Chains A and B, each alone.
Chain A
Amino acid sequence: GAGVSQSPRYKVAKRGQDVALRCDPISGHVSLFWYQQALGQGPEFLTYFQNEAQLDKSGLPSDRFFAERPEGSVSTLKIQRTQQEDSAVYLCASSPSGRGDYGYTFGSGTRLTVV
C-alpha cells in the first residue's frame, strides 16, 4: 500500500479483556517498529522486527504484551488482560532499511482506551 495502515483506529476494551492491534507496513519494508504514545508524551519504543525476526522487545512493559510478524509483513501487537495504564495510542512504523539511520513512516495509530 501507499502508507502504513493500522487497524482498528479506535478500540475500547474492558479491563481484563485481550486486544489485538494490526499493522500493515509499506510493502517491502524490512524494519517494523511498535511504539506506545501516552497522552501528551512522545512515542516510546516497544519492539522491533527485521523481517520476521523480533530483534528487540526490550520496551514491552510486561509479559502481557506480545508482538509477532510471522511472514515478515503484517504485524500484530497483542495485549492480554488489559489494564487502565495500557490506555494510549499504539503506533506502528516501518522503514525500508535494516539500519537505524533512516526515516520511519508511521501509521496513524490505534487509540486504545481501557475502561
Chain B
Amino acid sequence: GENVEQHPSTLSVQEGDSAVIKCTYSDSASNYFPWYKQELGKRPQLIIDIRSNVGEKKDQRIAVTLNKTAKHFSLHITETQPEDSAVYFCAASIKGGYSTLTFGKGTMLLVSP
C-alpha cells in the first residue's frame, strides 16, 4: 500500500519567515495530494491540494509543489504569522476509484512573534 513520509516533525520559525514542509510518497499511481491544518483539539481542515497533472499551485501565502518523478511534494508558507501555528498533515490518494487518503505523521509548526 501507499506510504507517506513527512519531514520535519517539528518546525520553529520567527514571524515573517518562510516555512517548508516536505513529503514523499511510495505509490506512483497516487494522483491527489491535499494538505490539512489541524489546530489543537480541532478537526483537520483542508488548506490546499494539488493533482498530478499540475506541478505547482498557489493560494495567497500558501503554495504546494509536486515532483512526480521524484515522488515528493512540499508545502510552502510565506510571511508566517502566529496563527499559522498548528500541525500540518500531507496526504496522498491511493489507487482506486474512490481513493482513500494516506496521511503523513504531521509537522508541528510553531511561529514565534
A residues contacting B by CB (< 8 A) are 4, 31, 33, 40-45, 48, 50, 55-56, 59, 91, 98-101, 103-109
Contact B51 A33 (CB under 8 A): no
Which of B32, B42, B106 is close to A42, meaning CB atoms less than 8 Å apart? B106
Q: Mark B86-113, 1 if CB is under 8 A from A, else 0.
A: 0001010100111111111110000000
Asked whether A43 lies within 8 Å of B44 as measured between CB atoms, the reply is yes
Known: A108-B43, A109-B43. A99 touches B103 (CB 8 A): no
Please determine whether A101 and B103 come into contact, CB atoms closer than 8 angstroms: no
A42 B46 Cβ-Cβ under 8 A: no
Residues on B facing A (Cβ under 8 Å): 4, 6, 31-32, 34, 36, 42-46, 49, 51, 89, 91, 93, 96-106
Chain B's nearest CB lies how many Å from the CB of A33? 7
Q: Is the CB of B43 within 8 A of A107?
A: yes
Closest beta carbon of chain A to B40's beta carbon, Å = 12
- Chain B residues whose CB sits within 8 angstroms of the CB of A107 once the complex forms: 43
How close is B22's CB to chain A, nearest CB, in angstroms? 15
Contact between chains at A100 and B98 (CB < 8 Å)? yes
Q: With the chains together, A115 CA to B78 CA distance in Å?
A: 44
Whether B89 contacts A103 by the Cβ 8 Å rule is no
Chain B residues closer than 8 Å to A104, beta-carbon distance: 34, 46, 101
Our pick among A41, A50, A106 for the contact of B45 (Cβ within 8 Å) is: A106
Note all chain A residues with C-beta closer than 8 A to B51: 101
A41 to B102, CA, bound (A): 12
By a CB distance below 8 angstroms, the chain B residues around A108 are: 42-43
A50 to chain B, nearest CB (A): 6
8 contacting pairs across A/B (C-beta < 8 A): A44-B103, A45-B100, A48-B98, A98-B97, A100-B98, A101-B51, A103-B34, A108-B43
